[in-house]
Structure formats: structure tokens, C-alpha cells
């Protein structure tokens, strides 16, 4: 029996548990950062490595909160390091007597690597970053001693490897925060949120603004979960056994959200007097699907919940089909016209397919409870999309910056000129993978400025009085704890990286320490000047300009062209993932411009609606039975192909004349389908042409939607984006 005195104890335990799951994780990360840096620095001194600063800088660049991300970054860092080593040794062998040609080739290589990192934006992009700035770290010191370049390169690789191994071992073995646990929690929380807003949408209680916010968040989560799945496979064999199912689950969720959005948009278009009768007949069907989702809106979604949902949907789909037949019969008895019956059929088709997609998602989620399952055999993949021009601009900006810094170095013979060029390449490569390069570069600059002040105090007033490694590390521990605390928070991570990495590079004592004030000031002047130039270069060639939004919007529109003309194999997952990846990029770049974000979301919605309907129409055509009425040369088949060509023209050049041509082509195809007799009396759930008619009708309703960016008066996308900015 509980007493009154137990209440404060229970409250204290709950508060302690909440703290452990929030702020406590931050302090665990700080502790592991201190332990990792201690081990790495001790090994660097014990092994008498030439540059312990490289070991420590590697630790803070690789360090992440989840152990899976640390292992993944470490793996790709080693690949990038070896690639950079190979290229740089080759360049040194070719141009060791010509510093100008060497620096020119170095700038081209780093620019190419920076463009690659902007193109991929995942762990492959991280390997490109490492291949770029590792080449700079190896190549520039080698210009002073070409004969010893190979040994210097091997020392740098050894130092980087020591830092990677120390970070991976500590993060993976000491109080590990696994990426796999984060992955499962994120999946459960995402579906709980989806179930909540799906129930609200089916009940007619979801606001369009809320729909936009959640759609943008789900697009970002789809990209983040793919990266998290790849990272988790490095640390957890159970995740590797389920990697195919997790990729399939992410793809099925994207399809599920696209289907729901299409249904929601159609239900919104039916609001009003003309659609009231259709909505009334459809209401029992909507309520049934909503009742299946309602219990999952108040708790995290588990594998057992998924199994229960799959079982419930398996038994209720037949009841749903019967309700659809009853609703259609109700409209027939009320003498509804052809347009109302078509609206009902289209909405019912979307709802039934939504229930089927939900059933498939639940089956995949439930299969994660088994180590081996047939649903693991999924051949799809997440396809990332990036704008080539944006990646090229990032690479050109980095190459020009290195060339400018190199020219100043050669002209001035500055003793710290190599550091000046090195830091420019390093910072340009680091910020190239960020969604907001301007903010990150500014944070790195502020962090480096702070490290210069702290480094000056430590190097000339503290380090000379110390004797032994223990005292040295005690003097470094407060700085490392502060930097790790900043890195642990996404909004301040740039300050922490700038503080720790540049302190290690410039101020950390080597095995042979030299206290030279003029060298210290020159080195930090080179660091801060190069970082300031990076900030200025990003301001002159910023990534968040209307020209880039216009190109990303065009890339979004071209996804419909891909849906019309791409190969059917892998088309669904390529279309879904590529469209969301483009939206995620554009949405992040337009953070300071909500009008632009809204416009880009509208384009994503219309692209997903029409593109997905076109893909399913093509799949329906590919699976038609053999019969003369389904032949390739029939009028309705020709009409569908003509509609596809009209949609391609419309999304390449979205103006009113092309929209009218597309509408005329869709209406002609609809009429041809209606005029085609089927071999058997058409039934709602067995008639291929009825399903084709539903897809065509939905495409027509999307083209007629007055809120669509394709509508008359809002078709000039470039002008709208420029005005919004």
C-alpha cells in the first residue's frame, strides 16, 4: 500500500528519468568527449606522432551523439582520406617543382570534391569532403619538402586513423547511444503523428496549413531516416538483417502519405453544395478507416500494434468494400448525375487504396519482429536528387577561394600562407554539406575567434608552467567540456566545432612545443582571415537565392516528366524519394522566406498528386488482361498517351495555354474510356476501365484546382518565387 510519503519520491524519480532522457544525454556526450580526447591525446603523445593536433581535430570532426553515425562517418572518413592521399601523392609527383601548377590542380580537386559533397549530401558526400580537405592537409605542407611528402602523407593518415579509432571505440562501448534505438523511436513517433492527422483529415477537421507543415516535416524525416538507417547498419547486426524492410517501410510511408494527401485534396474539393451528397455517401467509409487508426494516435507505435492493425485491416477491407458499394447504390437511388458518381468512385478508389497501403505498411512494420522475413526481399532504393547547378556553384566557389588565397600567398610570401590556404579549403568543404552554409560558416568563425583568445591565454600563461600529461589534460578539460556541450546542441554545434577544431590545429602543444608569439598570431590571423573570406564568398554567391529556388522548383516539376516517361521498374520509389529529397533541400534553403516555402510545398503537392496518379495509371495499363478493348491501338489508350504528352509540356512550361491543352487531353481520354465497352459488366472492384477513369478524373480535378500553382493567374512560377523573395 502506497503512503503519502511515497508521492514525492515518485515525482522525484519521474523528474530524474525525464532529465536523464533529455539533458542527461547531453552530459553523457560531454563525458564521452572528455574520455575520447583523453585517450586520443595520450596515444598521440605516447606514439610520438608529429602532429597530435591532427588526432584531436579528427576526434571532434567525427564525434556524433549516436554511435552508428560515428562509425559511419569514420568508415567514409577513412575512404575519403585514402582517396585524398592517393590523389595528392600523384599531384606531388607530377608538380613538385611547380608550385603554381600544383596549387591550380589542388584548387580544381578540392572544388570537385566540394561539388560532390553538395551533390550527395549523405555519407558519400562526407567522403567527398574528406577527400578534398585531406588533400589540402597533405599537399600544402609537402610544398615545402617534396622529398618527404610521402612520409608526411603516411603520418597524416596514421594520425587521422588514431583519432577515428579512439572515437569509434569510446562512442560504441561507453554508454552507447545507439542509432538503432533512435531509428525505432523516430519511426514510432512519425506514425503516431501521421495517424493523428489522418484521423483529423478523414473527419474533415484538418486545416490546410497544418497539412502543409506536416507534409514538409514528413519529407525531411524520410530523408533523415534513410541516413539513420544506413548509419544504424554499421553498429547493429539486427538492423542489418532488417535493412531491406526498413528501407521498404520508409518507401511505403511515403506512398501512404502521398495517397492520403491525394484523398484529402479531393475531399477538400468536394466541400460545398455540389459535393455534399457525395461526402454524405462516403462518410461511413471514411469513419471505418478512421476508427482503425484512432487507437494509435495516443501512444508510440510498436511492432505488436502493427500486427494488430494489419489483422484488423485484413478483416475490415471486405466490409469497407461493401460500404463503398452501399454508398454508390445510395447515390444511384438519389439519381445523382454522372459527375457525382465519378467523384464518388474516385474518392472511394483513393480511400480503398489508402487502406491497402496502410495494410502493407502495417505488415512490414510487424515483420520487423522476426529476424528473417519474406518482406526483406525488396529491390527498391531511396533515390536522392540534387540540382547540378547548385552543386557546381558550391564547387566553383571553393575552387576560386583557394586560388585567390594561393595567389595572395605566392605574392606575399607570408609564412602562414599555407595555413591561410589550408583553412579556406577546410572550411569551404565543411560548410558545403550544410543546409545553411552561411550560418554554419559564421558559427565556425565565431568559434575560432573564441579559440584564439583561449589559446593565447593557455599557451603563454598556462602551458609553460605545466609538467606532465595529467596537468596538461586538466588544463584542457574545461575547454573540451564547453566545446562538447555546444556540439551536443544542433543550434550551437558550429560554435563548438569552431572552438575545438581550430584550438587543436593552432594551439595544442606538439611533442616538441615551441612558444613563438609571432607564429601564434600569424597562424590565428591566417585562420580568421580565411574563414572571413569564406563567409564573404558565401555572401557573394549565396545558396539561398531566387535563381536556385527557381531551378529546384523546375526540378520538382520535372518529376512529373519522370513519372510519365521513366521505366516502370523502380519508378514508384524513385519518384517518391526523389521528389521529397528535392523538397527537403528547397525548403531548408528558403528558411527565411515562408512565402517561398509555401509555394514550393504547393508544387510538391501537385507533383505528387498528378505524378502518382500517372504512375498508377501506367501500372494499370501494364497489367491489363488480353482483350480487344484493352489493346494498344484503342482510342482510350491513344488518348492516355496524348494526355501524357500534354502533361509533359505543361510541367516543362507551366502556362495557361498548356494547362488548357492538358485539360482538353484529359477530358478526351475520359470520354474515350467511357465510350469503350468492357467484355463483362463493370463492377467497382474488378473493372480496369473504371479504375482508369478514376485516375483520369483525379488528374482532371488536380488541374482544375483553383489553389494549385497551375491555376490561371498563378502559373508563372519564376515570377512568384522572385516576388516572394
Secondary structure, 3-state, 283-338: HHHHHHHHHHHHHHCCCCCCHHHHHHHHHHHHHHHHHHHHHHHHHHHHHHHCCCCH
Q: Residue 435 has what pLDDT?
A: 67
Q: Which residue has the higher pLDDT, 138 or 280?
A: 280
Q: Residue 715 has what pLDDT?
A: 44
In this structure, what C-alpha cell is assigned to residue 501?
577544431
Q: Residue 537 has what pLDDT?
A: 79
> 724: pLDDT confidence band, cut at 50, 70 and 90?
very low
User: Helices marked H in 458-545 — which ranges?
Assistant: 469-487, 493-507, 517-540
C-alpha of 58 from chain center: 24
d(C-alpha 397, C-alpha 118), whole Å: 12
**Sequence-separated (6 or more) residues with CB below 8 Å from residue 232:** 68, 178, 179, 180, 182, 183, 239
**Sequence-separated (6 or more) residues with CB below 8 Å from residue 282:** 327, 344, 347, 348, 351
- The pLDDT mean for the chain works out to 83
With 50 as the cut, is the pLDDT of residue 1 above it? no
d(C-alpha 41, C-alpha 471), whole Å: 13
Please, where in the chain does CATH 1.20.58.220 lie? Answer: 179-235+243-370
> 578: pLDDT confidence band, cut at 50, 70 and 90?
confident
Q: Is-contact 700 575, C-beta < 8 A?
A: no
Mean pLDDT of 137-142: 75
Q: Residue 233 has what pLDDT?
A: 77
Quick: pLDDT tens for 413-467: 888 888 888 888 778 777 776 767 778 888 999 999 999 999 999 988 898 888 8
> 22: pLDDT confidence band, cut at 50, 70 and 90?
low
Whole-angstrom CA distances from 334 to 254, 279, 284, 339 are 37, 14, 17, 14
Percentage with pLDDT > 70 across the chain: 92
Q: Residue 599 has what pLDDT?
A: 85
Quick: pLDDT tens for 274-301: 778 888 888 989 888 888 888 888 776 7
Torsion angle defined by CA atoms of residues 518, 523, 525 and 528, in that order, rounded to the nearest 10 degrees: -160
Is pTM beyond 0.85? Reply is no
In this structure, what C-alpha cell is assigned to residue 512?
616538441
Quick: pLDDT tens for 472-520: 999 999 999 999 999 988 889 899 999 999 899 888 888 777 777 888 8
Q: Residue 21 has what pLDDT?
A: 62
> 10: pLDDT confidence band, cut at 50, 70 and 90?
low
Mean pLDDT of 248-261: 90
Could you count the other beta carbons within 10 Å of the beta carbon of residue 237?
A: 10
Is it true that domain 179-235+243-370 has CATH number 1.20.58.220? yes
Mean pLDDT of 260-281: 83
Q: Residue 477 has what pLDDT?
A: 94
Quick: pLDDT tens for 517-532: 888 888 889 989 988 8
Q: Residue 610 has what pLDDT?
A: 92
Quick: pLDDT tens for 592-624: 778 888 888 888 889 988 999 999 899 888 888
**Long-range contacts of 314-322, Cβ-Cβ distance < 8 Å, separation of 24 or more:** 314/359, 316/288, 316/292, 316/355, 317/352, 317/355, 317/356, 317/359, 319/288, 320/285, 320/288, 320/289, 320/351, 320/352, 320/355, 321/352, 321/684, 321/685
With 70 as the cut, is the pLDDT of residue 681 above it? no
In this structure, what C-alpha cell is assigned to residue 260?
492520403
> 562: pLDDT confidence band, cut at 50, 70 and 90?
very high
Please report where in the chains the cell 586560388 appears, as a residue.
403
Q: Is-contact 262 698, C-beta < 8 A?
A: yes
Choice among 179-188, 200-209, 635-644 with the minimum mean pLDDT: 179-188
Mean pLDDT of 368-390: 80
Amino acid at each position: 500500500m502506497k503512503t503519502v510519503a511515497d508521492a514525492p519520491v515518485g515525482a522525484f524519480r519521474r523528474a530524474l528519468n525525464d532529465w536523464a532522457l533529455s539533458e542527461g544525454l547531453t552530459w553523457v556526450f560531454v563525458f564521452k568527449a572528455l574520455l575520447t580526447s583523453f585517450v586520443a591525446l595520450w596515444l598521440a603523445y605516447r606514439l610520438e606522432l608529429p602532429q597530435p593536433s591532427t588526432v584531436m581535430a579528427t576526434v571532434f570532426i567525427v564525434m556524433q551523439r549516436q554511435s552508428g553515425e560515428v562509425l559511419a562517418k569514420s568508415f567514409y572518413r577513412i575512404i575519403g582520406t585514402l582517396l585524398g592521399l592517393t590523389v595528392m601523392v600523384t599531384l606531388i609527383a607530377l608538380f613538385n617543382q611547380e608550385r603554381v601548377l600544383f596549387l591550380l590542380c589542388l584548387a580544381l580537386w578540392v572544388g570537385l570534391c566540394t561539388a560532390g559533397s553538395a551533390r550527395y549530401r549523405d555519407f558519400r558526400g562526407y567522403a567527398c569532403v574528406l577527400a578534398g580537405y585531406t588533400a589540402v592537409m597533405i599537399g600544402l605542407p609537402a610544398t615545402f619538402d617534396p622529398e618527404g611528402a610521402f612520409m608526411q602523407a603516411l603520418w597524416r593518415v596514421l594520425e587521422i586513423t588514431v583519432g577515428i579509432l579512439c572515437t569509434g571505440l569510446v562512442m560504441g562501448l561507453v554508454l552507447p547511444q545507439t542509432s538503432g534505438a533512435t531509428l525505432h523511436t523516430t519511426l514510432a513517433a512519425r506514425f503516431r503523428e501521421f495517424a493523428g492527422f489522418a484521423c483529423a483529415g478523414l473527419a474533415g477537421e484538418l486545416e490546410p496549413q497544418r497539412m502543409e507543415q506536416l507534409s514538409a516535416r514528413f519529407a525531411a524525416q524520410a530523408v533523415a531516416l534513410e541516413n539513420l538507417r544506413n548509419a544504424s547498419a554499421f553498429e547493429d547486426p539486427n538492423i542489418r538483417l532488417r535493412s531491406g524492410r526498413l528501407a521498404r517501410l520508409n518507401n511505403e510511408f511515403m506512398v501512404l502519405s502521398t495517397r492520403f494527401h491525394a484523398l484529402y485534396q479531393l475531399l477538400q474539393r468536394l466541400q460545398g453544395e455540389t459535393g455534399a451528397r457525395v461526402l454524405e455517401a462516403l462518410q461511413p467509409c471514411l469513419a471505418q478507416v478512421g476508427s482503425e487508426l484512432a487507437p494509435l494516435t495516443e501512444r508510440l507505435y510498436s511492432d505488436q500494434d502493427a500486427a494488430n492493425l494489419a489483422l484488423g485491416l485484413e478483416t475490415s477491407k471486405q466490409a469497407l468494400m461493401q460500404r463503398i458499394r452501399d454508398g454508390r447504390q445510395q447515390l444511384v437511388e438519389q439519381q445523382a448525375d454522372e459527375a457525382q458518381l465519378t467523384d464518388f468512385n474516385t474518392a472511394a478508389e483513393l480511400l480503398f487504396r489508402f487502406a491497402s497501403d496502410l495494410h502493407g505498411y502495417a505488415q512490414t512494420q510487424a515483420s520487423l519482429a522476426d529476424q528473417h522475413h519474406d518482406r526483406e526481399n525488396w529491390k527498391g532504393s531511396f533515390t536522392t536528387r540534387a540540382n547540378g547547378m547548385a552543386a557546381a556553384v558550391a564547387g566553383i566557389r571553393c575552387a576560386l577561394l583557394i586560388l585567390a588565397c594561393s595567389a595572395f600567398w605566392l605574392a606575399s610570401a607570408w609564412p602562414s600562407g599555407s595555413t591561410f590556404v589550408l583553412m579556406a579549403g577546410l572550411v569551404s568543404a565543411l560548410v558545403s554539406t550544410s543546409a545553411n552554409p552561411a550560418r554554419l560558416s559564421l558559427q565556425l568563425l565565431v568559434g575560432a575567434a573564441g579559440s584564439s583568445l583561449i589559446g593565447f591565454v593557455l599557451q603563454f600563461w598556462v602551458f609553460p608552467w605545466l609538467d606532465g600529461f595529467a596537468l596538461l589534460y586538466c588544463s584542457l578539460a574545461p575547454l573540451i567540456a564547453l566545446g562538447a556541450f555546444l556540439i551536443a546542441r544542433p543550434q550551437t554545434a558550429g560554435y563548438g566545432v569552431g572552438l575545438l577544431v581550430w584550438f587543436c590545429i593552432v594551439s595544442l602543444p606538439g611533442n616538441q612545443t615551441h612558444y613563438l608569439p609571432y607564429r601564434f598570431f600569424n597562424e590565428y590571423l591566417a585562420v580568421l582571415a580565411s574563414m572571413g573570406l569564406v563567409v564573404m564568398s558565401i555572401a557573394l554567391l549565396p545558396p539561398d537565392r531566387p535563381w536556385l529556388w527557381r531551378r529546384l522548383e523546375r526540378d520538382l516539376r520535372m518529376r512529373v516528366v519522370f513519372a510519365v516517361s521513366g521505366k516502370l521498374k523502380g519508378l514508384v520509389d524513385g519518384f517518391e524519394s526523389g521528389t521529397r529529397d528535392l523538397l527537403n533541400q528547397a525548403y531548408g534553403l528558403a528558411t527565411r522566406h515562408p512565402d517561398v516555402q509555401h509555394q514550393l510545398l504547393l508544387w510538391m503537392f501537385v507533383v505528387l498528386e498528378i505524378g502518382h496518379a500517372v504512375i498508377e495509371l501506367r501500372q494499370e495499363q501494364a497489367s491489363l488482361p488480353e482483350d480487344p478493348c484493352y489493346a494498344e491501338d484503342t482510342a482510350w489508350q491513344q488518348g492516355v498517351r496524348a494526355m501524357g504528352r500534354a502533361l509533359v509540356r505543361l510541367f516543362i512550361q507551366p502556362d495557361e495555354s498548356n494547362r488548357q491543352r492538358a485539360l482538353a487531353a484529359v477530358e478526351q481520354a475520359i470520354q474515350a474510356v467511357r465510350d469503350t465497352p468492357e467484355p463483362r459488366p463493370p463492377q467497382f472492384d474488378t473493372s480496369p476501365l473504371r479504375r482508369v477513369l478514376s485516375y483520369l478524373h483525379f488528374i482532371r480535378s488536380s488541374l482544375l484546382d483553383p489553389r494549385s500553382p497551375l491555376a490561371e493567374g498563378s502559373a508563372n512560377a519564376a515570377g512568384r518565387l522572385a516576388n516572394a523573395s
